[in-house]
Structure 1
Amino acid sequence: MARIPEHLVVAGMQRLQRTLTAEVLEWSLSRGLFPSSERATRTALVAGTFCCRCSPHGCEEEVEDPRPYRHAVRFLALFLSADDHGPDDASDHPARRIERALLDPGSAPGDPHGQAAQEFMRDLIADTAPSEVAPFTTSFTDHLAAAAEEFELTQPPSPPATATGLARLGLPDFFRLRPLLIGTEPYLRLWQLADHRPRPSDVDDAADEVRRRFPSAMLDDAVDAAIDAHAAGVRRRAPPLTELEAVAVVSTYLANDLGSVERDRGPDGDARSPNLVLMLQDSRGRAPGGQRELRARGPDGGKQAIEAVVRLHDATTARFRALEINLQMLDNRAAMLRYTGLLSGVVDGNLQSTIDYARARAAAASAATGEPESAPAGAPRYSAGPVLDRLRFVGTRPTRA
């Protein structure tokens, strides 16, 4: 089995997490998913961390059946490999190749990404049932189509255009695209399938009431867009999200956007990847819900954008908790507890992982420069850690160090 270098092992990593990380590293290397062993190793660490933290059961104790975890960590490796591309992939993005392999089993000869995706699906079907995998497969292919669209938006412009497609992306299209890019929906569907947690009926009965009790026009627009999110020019394949699922998806991408502002910002200050903080700073269109424009060129534009996204995350937490309480009061309480527990575990696990990786990046930057990550260098750098520490978890499940 592949060995994880000790200096890369996350502090407090549990035995199951170490095992999953090592297994997915060996799987990724043997299938050729990444261009280097270093890239594969770092990706395996991310996949193992998010798999454990965002699972219904965690990784602190031995689990009776490790197969759902193996499916989940391999999915995360595939998901991350589709985002790992270079100039040679411009004509045929990895996301497109995986999408073709899932839709046409005979389409992937000689393609490592496509072959790994088909192997993953064969193993998943063997542990579940062919008739039950459609919600996962359709949500995954929706994500892959969105990933390919994102790649096209970030390519250098062709004359007479002077800006990338991403630079011209307005907020309505951001809200349409971003819910798919985060990958939360297929991850939820995978656990519902592999861990036998089907979505109960009547889950949207309280949606309108909760929206009235916790009003936020911008969150309404973000949730509505998430429910039917689709790539441009592609009809959505997966069923619509429930209200609680859509709130969970919005919550995860808000936390990730706040945690990756510097990574997503290009040398010229423009976004290199869809990020709501940077979108609000650049303000390429009026914000949904009648919000006033936030201009990055002003002295406080960046700070205002960060505060707007923090407030929006607070609103998602309040709505999630209210919806969760309503669902757990229904007659089928046991099924609702399993359903809401899965969702809250994904939301809180994602937030905790994002916080930990922001701290790790800050520590690495400090060790390399001898200065705090936010030390000024011409202009103050954004430091994600203090902002992420302000975000609230939706549940009370103990966090994982």
Structure 2
Amino acid sequence: MTGRDLESRYRRLLTVYPWEHRRRYEEEMLGVLLEDARPDQRHPDIGDMTNLVLAGLRTRLGWTARGLADRAWHDAAAVTGLLAALTLLALNGHALVSKMELDRGPMAYPFGSGDGVEALDWLPIGVWAAVCVAVLAGLPRPAVALGWAALVVEIALFPAQYSTDPVPVVSGLWQLVLGLVAAIALTVPAPRRRALAVLGTRRLLTIIFALAAIVAVFLVNRLASSQLATDGSPYHVFPLHDNKIARRELELVGGSTGQVLFYLALLLAAGLTVLIAVATVDGPVRRRIAVLSAPVVTLVMLVNQTLDGWAVSNMNMGHPIYLVPAQWAALATVPLLTFAIALLLLRRREQTLRMVALGRTADRKSPTP
């Protein structure tokens, strides 16, 4: 019984190694450990435990690094870089629409800031459009340079913007992280035009047209709502986000409920089109795109679900209230933790798929009774 207890404890310790390593070497390592054990030993020695854990972690990191170097990761990085650049292009297009200075008329409807478009507002659109063109034209170096340049400018402007109006800056923090994801993904080496090859021309055009349609809906709604204000006609407002942290331009305005629902249906259809197009990408690439996108999605949820009170305080106090270090620590660590968990789940999922494939292969090769 003593030997069995020691063996089971060593087996639990060996789980720190990757599954692929254990499949090849676990029995051999276990035999050496049991042979070196004392006759009455029931627990692993501290030295053995330390060596196994440290060696297992080094091995696991090595397996992870080699896994990140496979072709599926390169393909996913190429596609993620392009999709992130297209999304940032659409987001900046929407921001430009919301800043359009239109005749508000006698009615003050809550739609957009209407502060007027400045020349610098076109710069992010031009940069991310150039990144997309460079990627599709097979020019990776200009795409990488432009992506990192745009990110550096955003980071440089962050302190000044945050000090004057922290709420919209924090609510848009996920866009900064999306830019970081785009820059890192574009930096990963990949064959020229690899994103186009993986997505396919039809799927890529579908995504581009859907994102353009989203911006077009907001533009048409902006113009139509301005006309309503000019005429003094009744209007209906539909908030696309009801949290206080959300920006005010995330609203639809229409002359009737049916008109607002029509705009909403167009937005939902375009968004669903993008999701379906990405969901039809090859499985290994699709799963890795989800892992790379996980920090951005997590940050959106974290800001929207936890900072409502802070946003309301900023609105009511009359002076900026800044995030405390613990809140910044959460905003930094939770997305990274989500990425690590998503990466672990991906590995487990693909290990399961490999084992299922091996089982099916063995079943096909086994003779039929």
| The structure with more radius of gyration | 2
TM-score, normalised relative to structure 2: 0.28
TM-score, normalised relative to structure 1: 0.26
Asked which structure has the greater RCO (Cα within 8 Å, sep 6+), the reply is 2
